[in-house]
Structure 1
Amino acid sequence: MDVKYLFSSVDMLKTANCSINEDLIPVLYDSLIRLQSENHFNSVYLWGRLQTLSDDYFLAYGHYGNPVNKKTFFYSQNVIEWSLIPTDYPADGSDLVKTMKDRFKGDPRHVQMANLFKPWTDQMAENNTPSNMSADVYGEGEGEEIVPEGRSKNVRASDVLSLFEMEEGAMTEIYGSRDSDATKMIKEEDRLAVTVDMIENETHVVPRGFLYKLPNGNIVNAPYYKGCWAPQIIFNRYFVMHNLLWPGAVFFQDMNTGVHGFFYNGDGIKNLDLPFMLKC
């Protein structure tokens, strides 16, 4: 939301069940104006607040021209001093963040562990098939029966070993093992940058199936689930839309004055269960 309409936008946020401490608003306004002056931005917007286990991250961005093409993001934990969000995070940062379900600690220097598993392919399954899993063919023609080597044709249900009863070594022999190097580390500051970038790309108010242009010039389909926005009209004046894919993301507009904005107030965890929550 634009800093010029910060006070009125904060009042509209209350209708969307989202509020900011009243004592922080004047301090937040002064710090954002100072951020705009120091960096010579055309405009500065308060983007959101990411909730953590300790000190929350307040997020803002500024731009020099068209805000769609280039946004410079900052974060602050005391709403006075602002730090630049890094843009040189690891190349596999998006894949790492998608596997992380724990909340932010509130320390930008905190290092978190993430598991990056490789997808299982048919070629990997063939390479990891045990050599002793051969079979004998009994009978001829269409009625022939395939029986594993060393087994009799009459196998009882009690002779079948369930997967839960198999030892770890046998499971590794059949299915193979993941690479131990799949566990990687990522700083919370980098995770914050990746999360903000993902929310920015996935909370556009664009109908599903429409084409839209990315900042880098690529034109892609809107990859959002049908029904990911939950709209409502409050007091016959305010139009509010909650995003279900990223809980906490809200778009609001005063239909009388035209003042509108976007604010994110969540824990930075994506709702991957959304496809199962919507009607087909």
Structure 2
Amino acid sequence: MNLSTLFDHLPYLSYSFRTLSSDEQLKLGHSLRTLQRDQRLRSVWFLGRLEGRDADYFLAFGCPDRELFAGRKLFYSQNLHEWFLLLEPKQWDHCWDKIGAPFRGDPAFRMEIDLGPGFTFDEDLVPVEGERIRFEVKEQNRLWFVVSRMLQEAALVPRGVLYHDTNGNCVINPYFGGISVEASMVLNNYLHFREPRSDPAVNLAKRDEFSYFMDVFDPADDVVPKEGSFVVRRDVGRDVFVLNSMHWPGLINFHRADTGAVFGFCYFGDGRKNWELPFKL
């Protein structure tokens, strides 16, 4: 949720079955404006709240320029007063998203992780059990990893919000006017809120009619499994479409059809990825 439209979009938190109290809303708005001024950010986005065992983390990110992704900074707060920068750890591993233990709510806490034995394949492609995967991770570093991974894998915006300008920057399209009700029902009309991973030619070839400046971004249906990773819901009375991520329970993306200003995403969950999804479909 962009800070510029934060108070207009806070009611959409109800689609995640969460809300913020009036006191939290006032503190959030004031502290994010202070953060934007102190960090000299062009835009600030509220991401949501990661719920820990003993304390919670409020999450946000900011962009120092029109470019949305290259210089993006991640922040967390536990009191909606002080915001702390989340820096990329010097060493991290992709297996961190397999950690099943809940967050404690203490950024300095160091957790001993045991993911069980690793497996390799012999020359006959028979799995062979290897050494146990054990390591220690600081909760603040794990928080950076989880927030980064959620933004990469589950944050979506309607087609047309992201714009690839002539300078090669990924920016917000100021002329976005929304997508229709019919288009809002199709998962392919939502794009990942990230720099394109796939070859632009591949993404453009997926559409009969395309705009190079808008359709170079990765569509939402490029995930695995293709069916079931996102669930599209419609509030018929308001023409609001909500896309729930099944990989990251608690993360929702929303858009009100035919309106250019109402779109965004938020997360209210425990920070654990749903690795059982393929077995539930």
Secondary structure of 1:236 counterpart:
coil
Q: AA paired with 2:272?
A: I
Aligned residues: 225
Cα offsets for 1:12-66 (capped at 9, x unmatched)? 2114422122211001100000000111111100012100011100010110222
**Residue aligning to 1:198:** 149
Provide the rounded CA distance (Å) in 2 between the counterparts of 1:212 and 1:32: 24
Aligned equivalent of 2:198: 219
Given that 2:60 and 2:76 are in contact with CA atoms closer than 8 Å, whether structure 1 keeps it comes out as yes
Please give the alpha-carbon distance, in whole angstroms, between the structure 1 residues aligned to 2:248 and 2:15: 19
Deviation at 1:81, TM superposition (A): 0.2
- The answer to whether the 8 A contact 2:151-2:194 is kept is no
Alignment partner, residue 236 of structure 1 = 238
Determine which of 249, 252, 261 is the counterpart of 1:250: 252
- AA paired with 1:39? Q
CA distance in 2, matches of 1:49, 1:274: 23
Contiguous gaps of at least 5 residues in structure 2: 158-186, 200-217
Query: Separation in 1 of the partners of 2:197 and 2:248?
Result: 23
CA distance in 2, matches of 1:104, 1:213: 25
Q: What residue in structure 1 maps to residue 9 of structure 2?
A: 9
Amino acid in the other structure paired with 1:247: P
**CA shift in 2, pair 1:114/1:255, >3 Å:** same
Residues 56 and 214 (structure 1 numbering): CA distance in 2 closer, same or farther, change over 3 Å?
A: closer
More deviation in 183-192 or 17-26?
17-26
Q: Does 1:87 align with 2:38?
A: no
CA RMSD of aligned residues (A): 2.9
Output the CA distance in 2 between the equivalents of 1:183 and 1:6: 41
Instruction: Report the alpha carbon displacement of residue 205 of structure 1 after superposing the two structures with TM.
Output: 3.5
> In the aligned structure 2, how far is the partner of 1:31 from the partner of 1:110?
25
SS across alignment from 1:179? strand
One-letter amino acid of the structure 2 residue matched with residue 238 of structure 1: V
1:179 corresponds to which of 117, 121, 131: 131
TM-score (norm 2): 0.71
Give the equivalent residue in structure 2 for 1:268.
Answer: 271
Q: Do 1:50 and 1:266's aligned partners in 2 also have CA atoms closer than 8 Å? A: yes
Percent identical across equivalent pairs? 29
Q: Distance in 2 between matches of 1:99 and 1:88?
A: 17
1:253 offset after TM fit, Å? 2.1
Question: Secondary structure at 2:22's aligned position in 1?
Answer: coil
The 2-side partners of 1:55 and 1:213 are apart by 28
- 2:67 is the counterpart of 1:66: yes
Instruction: Encode CA deviations 1:123-156: one digit per residue, 9 max, x unaligned.
Output: 6999xxxxxxxxxxxxxxxxxxxxxxxxxxxxxx
Distance 1:106 1:54 in 2: 5
Matching residue's letter, 2:139: E
State whether residues 202 and 224 of structure 1, in contact with CA within 8 Å, keep that contact through their aligned partners in structure 2.
no
Greater percentage in strand? 2
Letter of the structure 2 residue corresponding to residue 109 of structure 1: A
Give the conservation status (yes or no) of the 8 Å contact 2:156–2:193.
Answer: no
Residue in 1 aligned with 2:211?
none
Distance verdict in 2 for CA 1:205–1:45, change over 3 Å: closer
Distance apart, 1:256 and its partner CA: 6.1
Contact 1:57 1:75 in 2 (8 A): yes
Residue number in structure 1 paired with 2:169: none
CA distance in 2, matches of 1:18, 1:245: 19
Q: Which runs of 5+ in 1 are unaligned?
A: 127-174
